[in-house]
Structure 1
């Protein structure tokens, strides 16, 4: 037995890809995306990663890939404020029915062409996309009808990736902690968890063993949107989601021991918890020894046979985020892999 380790998702895009995204040349963009995916997977495998991703090189963002360029969307949706003052804004739905314009399977299949290692695929949680529905409603298209359509689309997004051979499908749920900032009563979080479970309940136990949920307080342009929200308000509800794996930001947490104690108290039967041992916002590259010590600390709270490691968040969840270099991201990935191996050896695995 060893301790599994996985990336979360995004890697900073190379300059050639960023330039192609601005060029308006579809042929040049497709070529730059394929080159970036190939390079990302090659470098991830060279860093020793036993599981790889495409680094989300072809996605406009981790959040908006299913709805980019849909005709029934308009600007002016929910605003996500970050601690440094910058914001991201979602579009808003103008008419039904709601359908995905792109599915994550296409990114998975493109990555598998270049990978020797198993490929993990990130998808956006339906709870995040539920924010597209306007507060004032849509004539002739109720919120209930929208949610029914959303659940069907989210299930299809996950299922297509599982059927295509994804090692695991990870639901990105960064809005979970943010919801407690927007609604400290926890009502919005309850709604988010219930909606995500409507999707997850459609899968078998074996399928859910290949499905995970990732949460973090955001990591965009070296800033977060909800690190000041107490993790203890999120984790007991998050861990009720019907997934086989949970990927938890922890390296950047000010009191990781307190968080680990909460996780231990609410650990679902048979679930595996991947603890974050790399802070993508910190420009300093962690040493393998620092990672080892973080893993050993987690092993003091969680059963080793249900422990894994990951990065806290993606390194560049929005395509235009260049706050971290590609070289730094891959150096941090290597430190995670090597540090996790050191911890496993010290634990006698």
Structure 2
């Protein structure tokens, strides 16, 4: 037995892709996206990644790819403040019915053309997209109708990825921790979890075994949006979801032992947990030995046969984030792979 290890998702875009994104040539952009996906997968395979990803090279952001290009949007949606003072703003829906304009399975099919390795596909959790509906409502399109459309679209997005051969589908639920900052009562978190659970409950047990939930305090331009929120306030509810795998930011956590204790108390029977052993926001590249020690710490709390490793988050969830270099990202991923193997060896696996 080995310890599974997976990337979370985004890799900094290639310089050629960044240049093409700022131009207005659609054909050149498509060619640059395909080349960037091919290069990302080749580099992951070169460093021995057992599971690869397209690095979200063709997504405008991890959060808004399904609605990119939709006409019924305004720019005046929810504002996400980061600790360093910068913000990101979601769009806001202005009319219904709600439909995805872009689907994750298309990214997956494009990636699989370049590899025979298992390919992981990240999708945005429906909970995040539920924030697109305006607080004041939409005339003739009540929130209940929007949520039904959203759940249908999210289910179809996940199923299409599974049908297209995804090794695993990861739902990015990064707003979970932020929700407790916006609403310390937990009511917003409960509503977000309920949206995700509506989708997960439509999947079979075998399908849910190939679906995971990822949470982190955000990672953008070297900053987070909710690292100051106590993980213990989130994890007991987060881990009740019916996903087969949970991906948890941990490397950047100030007290990982305390967090691991909470996870051990609440991890559902049969579920796997992949703990973050790489901090994408730290400019220093971790050593394999540092990663090994982080895995061994996690193994003191969690069953080894249900334990894996990942990065805390994607390295560039928004396409314009150049705070981490592409070479640094791959060096960190290599350290994760090698350090996880060292831990497996020490554990006698």
TM-score over 0.5 for the pair: yes
Whole-Å separation in 2 of the counterparts to 1:228 and 1:68: 31
Partner of 1:174: 174
Deviation at 1:116, TM superposition (A): 2.7
Partner of 1:217: 217
Partner of 1:40: 40
Whole-Å separation in 1 of the counterparts to 2:4 and 2:229: 29
1:27-54: CA deviation from partner (whole Å, max 9, x where unpaired): 0000000000000000011111000000
Partner of 1:87: 87
Whole-Å separation in 2 of the counterparts to 1:22 and 1:323: 17
1:112-155: CA deviation from partner (whole Å, max 9, x where unpaired): 01113100000000000000000000000000000000000000
Alignment pair present for 1:162 and 2:162: yes
Partner of 2:118: 118
Structure 2, unpaired ranges of 5+: none
1:67-104: CA deviation from partner (whole Å, max 9, x where unpaired): 00101111110000000000000010000000000000
Alignment pair present for 1:73 and 2:73: yes
Partner of 1:297: 297
Partner of 1:239: 239
Deviation at 1:26, TM superposition (A): 0.4
**What is the aligned length?**
349
Partner of 1:191: 191
Partner of 2:326: 326
Partner of 1:2: 2
Q: Aligned-pair RMSD on alpha carbons?
A: 0.4
1:257-291: CA deviation from partner (whole Å, max 9, x where unpaired): 00000000001010000000000000000000000
Partner of 2:16: 16
Alignment pair present for 1:29 and 2:29: yes
1:283-311: CA deviation from partner (whole Å, max 9, x where unpaired): 00000000000000000000000000000
Partner of 2:344: 344
Partner of 2:141: 141
1:23 is paired with a residue of what secondary structure? coil
Whole-Å separation in 2 of the counterparts to 1:181 and 1:259: 18
Partner of 2:104: 104
Whole-Å separation in 2 of the counterparts to 1:117 and 1:278: 22
Partner of 1:267: 267
Whole-Å separation in 2 of the counterparts to 1:162 and 1:152: 16
Whole-Å separation in 2 of the counterparts to 1:267 and 1:219: 25
Whole-Å separation in 1 of the counterparts to 2:79 and 2:29: 29
1:159 is paired with a residue of what secondary structure? helix
Deviation at 1:21, TM superposition (A): 0.8
Partner of 1:287: 287
Whole-Å separation in 2 of the counterparts to 1:243 and 1:37: 28
Partner of 2:129: 129
Partner of 2:307: 307
Whole-Å separation in 2 of the counterparts to 1:321 and 1:285: 18
Structure 1, unpaired ranges of 5+: none
Whole-Å separation in 2 of the counterparts to 1:94 and 1:219: 28
- TM-score if structure 1 supplies the norm length? 1.00
1:219-275: CA deviation from partner (whole Å, max 9, x where unpaired): 000000000000001000000111000000000000000000000000101000000
Whole-Å separation in 2 of the counterparts to 1:113 and 1:292: 33
Whole-Å separation in 2 of the counterparts to 1:28 and 1:297: 47
